[in-house]
Structure 1
């Protein structure tokens, strides 16, 4: 059966899928490979904001206490902060500021998280914490201008509902941190955007209690944030994990939770940002490197904007060291890109989305169809996935009748799958070299490019008929452009080899 695509748009395609993207800790942005990777993502995808941990951790060097004249003082140093933000802005992306973790010189305890030891304890001095927040924002306004900094969302901490990220997962202590921080931010400028509580999946009751707290105490809040993942407990192996996976619909259910919980209340109309999401919450799960991950997340990118104001893929690059320095070029990292800018299948899902139009014609369980102002129609289609571990099946078919003007259209089809446009498969066939030499890197980059096919399609009765047979875990983008035929009347393909006219 062929699905007839409506001729008129049903709405606009939300750009919530590229509002923000995640990154490794703040000071990694000083590295060349990081900036090269971000430049590539910005050219081909174009995210608006970037969010990561460690703005106040020791690696960024903002909080610098010292003794002088027998008294404690603090110098707020913005040397690295300025370099990172300057690089972001030059690449056309702005910060989604996450305030954390605790500088060691201000921490009340020694509990840390990650290989790079981000401190997760409350401040030893709430006043000094407020001064740190105030000094940082004042500096940003002085350097970048108030109008620009007003556009930057400011999120208070990361996943305080987990004891790994906030000592004891102490909810009352987090509420205090949030209130002091939010009031300090608004004291700098009332139009700055502040929000939270940046909770991880599994503690959904935190959000209603956070809403009750800020409402009862009239604490400023401009947006709400949470995270979404669908993987099960980690099954550890050396330098990696395996995990079960819930259906991708579980991500959309998590996206919808905040508005469902707060419906009818005083915070019901606030923006909701999913400031981290992915299939697995682990930075060493090989699922991230696969075509499965792209096909799994395709329906999430297609529909997520109907539920939230943004959902930020965690992360744009494998330059990420939470469990240590990666030991292999492919190691299950979160990134859309490996080190050295090898594109993963999920990278192409995002690049395909970036080439779609803004007018939604139709959508289904395996496709999204859009049109842009030039009349170009784009079709994103994806093969179904089986999270129970069954074999990936080739041959899934998407059939569409697309309204198009004229007599013919030019069809360009770009595809990634288990076999096509998949550097991870090529790397596996190479024997999984941990540190590929330059020639191997070139081969992997070539293998990572989507397979592209093109042809002319007839338009009959005002429609072009598409029959898309999808490979295993394939994600494909079809671009249909009306043909304005400029072939001169003397052109004859039969005479390309100089044969006489009429032969």
Structure 2
């Protein structure tokens, strides 16, 4: 497995070189005199299939890093919180054994494992985005076989855990009892700050739901009643469906409106579609950023069409370049390096543009990536860390977290329009864009240099003109410069350079941890008359963050 993944990396790195003796000139104008809306940190949501990884060594480390991004404002979603089992994690699997029944069929509740998971979040300043699922074995209408037989590329995923309950009253009572327990354990105000939604992708019957649409709506209504019985002010919503190009969202909105089911937020998923290209020029990954944005737009349009729901907060419950974090393969070769981080830098601003265009209230987008415990280094999963070592994509979120205050205009003459990206993706010329924020006397500018094709290309020479700067920034100053590219904040490149060791020594691991760090440099700048200018190099598939002032 490792050899095949390394071969993919080497094939990509050996692709025909594009001339490097030139740069792409880019002009970016930032106007700090026009602060707009507050920065909306929609990126502060994460999740994973496997709940029990959170309590393991690298899971705890990764959660701590997430919590440090924005303490007590980062949320985590996971499957399998109600699944039967002993808490052993596996690909796309986990369990808490929250519910069993005695010989007489009476409910037996057990909070031990789920408390351990949520305590782990709480200690690291991460809050739950609660997915109420899946079905305990004792409640399932089709309990055997119960645990799935999934393997990346084969096996049956939908087994007993995916079916409706044999008793909706017991399902509702379980949820009431558990939420009441959480209120007693964590406090009423804390639990009221969580999100509660039902199940996962019930519009994909081949995977996550073995019942009908009407049965899912009944399941959801019972779940909401169960939450609200224990905590009337709890934040409830749904349906966390896959962005499958159907009208399920419209049907859901009609149902909750007709049934009077409380709905505080709406949720769905949107995924991209990378491919592995083989042609005369060699082999490489090609991303599908257009697919991801169009999937989101399909759901935005349905929500915007319903006046009663148009202003409801929206959480995109999974927002990723493709659909299976636990799956490997050539098309997923973007994950370890800066292809992933630059993609995220390019897609999140477009998602916010799209929400603004449709007039909907986007509150968050969950990156369905975490870590896979005790796997080979850089094994090709969609994850934020590998063996406790931050990947470039984790560093991208660290840069997002540095954007504070209010958004200010930042116009790049090499940034592709939203319509172009949604229609064509990023083909031909690259997308070299920018976003900026002003916080008191601090200006932060984020630059990205992205292309759908993971091929070499010339660097960008970005000339920035900064206008309308606060008077407190006048004079000669230093600009902090943070980079994520082939040579910076990139543990994967360092691992390849040391020969891709399967079991890094302590010294090699220390080197990788150092290579993963964001290490700011400084460059001088002179602010005169509230204006300044500077030029920075942004390599292809790279990100640069500039911060002027503190």
In which range does the TM-score fall when normalised by the shorter chain? 0.7 to 0.9
- CA shift for structure 1 position 264: 4.4
Tell whether the 8 Å contact from 2:31 to 2:410 is kept in structure 1 after alignment. no
The one of 119, 124, 136 aligned to 1:91: 124
1:335 corresponds to which residue? 383
Tell whether the 8 Å contact from 1:14 to 1:305 is kept in structure 2 after alignment. no
Cα RMSD for the two superposed structures:
2.5
Where 1:433 maps in the other structure, the secondary structure is coil
- Does residue 30 in structure 1 map to residue 55 in structure 2? yes
- CA shift for structure 1 position 305: 4.2
1:41 corresponds to which residue? 66
1:369 corresponds to which residue? 436
2:213 corresponds to which residue? 171
2:195 corresponds to which residue? 153
1:471 corresponds to which residue? 539
Tell whether the 8 Å contact from 1:161 to 1:203 is kept in structure 2 after alignment. no
- CA shift for structure 1 position 83: 2.0
Separation (CA, whole Å) in 2 of partners of 1:11 and 1:479: 18
Separation (CA, whole Å) in 2 of partners of 1:92 and 1:388: 37
Deviations 1:402-441 (A, max 9, x none): 1343221211111111232211122223333333232221
Alpha-carbon distance change, 228 to 259 in structure 1, aligned in 2, over 3 angstroms? closer
2:40 corresponds to which residue? 15
- CA shift for structure 1 position 112: 4.8
Deviations 1:28-85 (A, max 9, x none): 2222321122112322454521111111012212112221xxx222211111222222
TM-score by length of 2: 0.78
The one of 500, 504, 513 aligned to 1:432: 500
Tell whether the 8 Å contact from 1:330 to 1:434 is kept in structure 2 after alignment. no
Alpha-carbon distance change, 363 to 302 in structure 1, aligned in 2, over 3 angstroms? farther
Where 1:231 maps in the other structure, the secondary structure is coil
Deviations 1:237-283 (A, max 9, x none): xxxxx975313x54344334333213242222211111111112222
- CA shift for structure 1 position 465: 0.5
- Does residue 384 in structure 1 map to residue 450 in structure 2? yes
TM-score by length of 1: 0.85
Counterparts of residues 90-169 of structure 1 (less than 5 Å): 90-109=123-142, 110=145, 112-113=147-148, 114=150, 119-168=161-210
2:108 corresponds to which residue? 75
- CA shift for structure 1 position 303: 4.4
- CA shift for structure 1 position 217: 2.1
1:318 corresponds to which residue? 371
Structure 2 gap ranges (5+): 1-25, 85-94, 152-156, 278-283, 356-361, 416-432
Tell whether the 8 Å contact from 2:285 to 2:453 is kept in structure 1 after alignment. no
- Does residue 268 in structure 1 map to residue 268 in structure 2? no
Separation (CA, whole Å) in 2 of partners of 1:396 and 1:244: 20
- CA shift for structure 1 position 452: 3.4
Structure 1 gap ranges (5+): 236-241, 483-503
Greater RCO structure (CA 8 Å; 6+ sep): 2
1:422 corresponds to which residue? 490
Alpha-carbon distance change, 243 to 458 in structure 1, aligned in 2, over 3 angstroms? closer
1:447 corresponds to which residue? 515
Alpha-carbon distance change, 157 to 167 in structure 1, aligned in 2, over 3 angstroms? closer
Q: Kindly name which structure, 1 or 2, has the bigger radius of gyration based on alpha carbons.
A: 1
Tell whether the 8 Å contact from 2:132 to 2:223 is kept in structure 1 after alignment. no
Separation (CA, whole Å) in 2 of partners of 1:305 and 1:199: 20
Tell whether the 8 Å contact from 2:58 to 2:371 is kept in structure 1 after alignment. no
Alpha-carbon distance change, 203 to 170 in structure 1, aligned in 2, over 3 angstroms? farther
Separation (CA, whole Å) in 1 of partners of 2:127 and 2:378: 28
2:10 corresponds to which residue? none
Separation (CA, whole Å) in 2 of partners of 1:163 and 1:408: 62
1:279 corresponds to which residue? 321
1:60 corresponds to which residue? 96
Q: Tell me the number of residue pairs that the alignment of Structure 1 and Structure 2 aligns.
A: 462
2:298 corresponds to which residue? 257
Name the stretch that deviates more: 20-29 or 439-448: 20-29
Alpha-carbon distance change, 421 to 30 in structure 1, aligned in 2, over 3 angstroms? closer
Where 1:281 maps in the other structure, the secondary structure is coil
Where 2:466 maps in the other structure, the secondary structure is strand
- CA shift for structure 1 position 178: 1.1
